[in-house]
Amino acid sequence: MKTPKIKLKNVHKRFGDKVVLDGLDLEIMPGESLVIIGGSGTGKSVTIKCILGLLTPDIGEIEIDGQSVLDISPVERNTINARIGMLFQHAALFDSLSVWENVAFGLIEGQGMLASTARDIALEKMAAVGLAEDTAEMHPSDLSGGMRKRVGLARAIAINPEIIFFDEPTTGLDPIMGDIINQLIVETTQNIGATGLSITHDMSSARKIADRIAMLYKGKIIWHGAVEEIEKTKNEFLRQFINGNSEGPIDFETAII
């Protein structure tokens, strides 16, 4: 059996009294594209942050390439993160830098590439996400939300990472741009052979980019399977989620008075 690229075992994470992850198990194989779906606030972003080392799980084990990545030194963490690309949900662009400097950041600071070379690569990646060259010198605060998202995406793929995390890549984009981005995600993961973990609420996007889908509910993965299987699933939770019904077993913890 192959070692999974990413493996989470029995991960627990709570903030104060609020239990967010409650024994989460997840395996992602090399070259696979997994999509996590789940209601708002169920801990999808927290899961990714735990893998990246931005949050530390209370209990549990996280492995990348079979190596535990908890309790490692900051230097080791840097070498691991240098192989990972991350698109943040709210883009998290550096607002003191111009757009192209944002995209080239991992190349210049992380890999020590020359600024002129990195700029060419940055422009290429920006073109791939539909950003014209004249945005290169602009600052993130001058961009629209959807444009910022695409700059974030370009920054995530610029370093040709082995592992890519996309936190809601298509939220805030128009349907056509959304489809272009979906296509781009499929291409990048296939071309670089990268392992992808994406979060989305958008089922059409999930169907397009996923090899496999996992559903997070109440801190656990309650269902996972190949993308074709979701259509014929008997799982009530998943059926409710993909059909977007307000009636069903999912407890949204909202009291309608």
Partner 1 sequence: MSFLQLTGATVLGFFRAVGHITHFTIVAVSHCFRPPFYFQLIWRQIVEIGYYSLPVVGLTTVFAGMVLALQSYTGFARFAAGAESSIAKVVVLSITRELAPVLAGLMVAARVGSSIAAEIGTMRVTEQIDALTTLATEPFKYLVAPRVIAGIATLPVLILIGDVIGIFGGYIVAVYKLDFNAAIYLKNTWEFVQFTDVFSGLVKATVFGFVTTLMGCYQGYFSKGGAQGVGTATINAVVSSAILILILNYMITAMFFGA
Ligand X SMILES: Nc1ncnc2c1ncn2[C@@H]1O[C@H](COP(=O)(O)OP(=O)(O)OP(=O)(O)O)[C@@H](O)[C@H]1O
Q: How far apart are CA 85 and CA 162, in angstroms?
A: 8
Q: By the criterion CB under 6 A, which residues form the site for ligand X?
A: 15, 20, 38, 40-46, 89
Among 3, 10, 79, 117, binds partner 1 (CB under 8 A): 79
Under 8 Å between Cβ of 175 and 146? no
C-alpha of 73 from chain center:
24
Report what 40 binds from Mg ion, ligand X, partner 1, none; CB cut-off 5-8 Å by kind: ligand X
Q: Closest approach of Cβ 81 to partner 1, in Å?
A: 5
**Does the footprint of partner 1 cover residue 164 (CB under 8 A)?**
no
Query: In 10 A of CB 226, how many CB atoms?
Result: 10
Q: Which 185-244 residues touch partner 1, going by CB under 8 A? A: none
The interface region with partner 1, picked from 16-24, 102-110, 121-129, 221-229 by CB under 8 A, is: 102-110
Q: How far apart are CA 146 and CA 173, in angstroms?
A: 5
**Does the footprint of partner 1 cover residue 88 (CB under 8 A)?**
yes
Q: Give the phi and the psi of residue 139 in degrees, each rounded to 5.
A: -105, 150
Q: Which residue, 45 or 213, is less far from partner 1 as judged by CB?
A: 45
**Does the footprint of partner 1 cover residue 142 (CB under 8 A)?**
no
By CB neighbour count within 10 A (0-12 exposed, 13-18 middle, 19+ buried), where does 31 fall? middle
Q: Which two tokens stand for residue 104?
A: 């080239």
Under 8 Å between Cβ of 204 and 181? no
Among 45, 198, 200, 205, binds Mg ion (CB under 5 A): 45
Q: Closest approach of Cβ 91 to Mg ion, in Å?
A: 13
Q: Closest approach of Cβ 172 to ligand X, in Å?
A: 12
Among 3, 10, 41, 54, binds partner 1 (CB under 8 A): 54
What is the 8-class DSSP label of residue 141? G
Residue nearest to Mg ion (CB): 45
Total residues binding Mg ion (CB under 5 A) = 2
Per-residue DSSP letters for 130-169?
Answer: T--GGGTTS-GGGS-HHHHHHHHHHHHHHT--SEEEEEST
Q: How far apart are CA 217 and CA 47, in angstroms?
A: 12
Q: How far apart are CA 118 and CA 111, in angstroms?
A: 10
**Does the footprint of partner 1 cover residue 58 (CB under 8 A)?**
no
Q: Which residue, 17 or 247, is less far from ligand X as judged by CB?
A: 17
| Of residues 139, 141, 111, 108, the one with CA closest to residue 122 | 108
**Residues binding partner 1 (CB under 8 A):** 49, 52-54, 74, 77-79, 81-82, 84-86, 88, 90, 92-96, 105-106, 109-110, 155, 159
**Residues binding Mg ion (CB under 5 A):** 45, 89
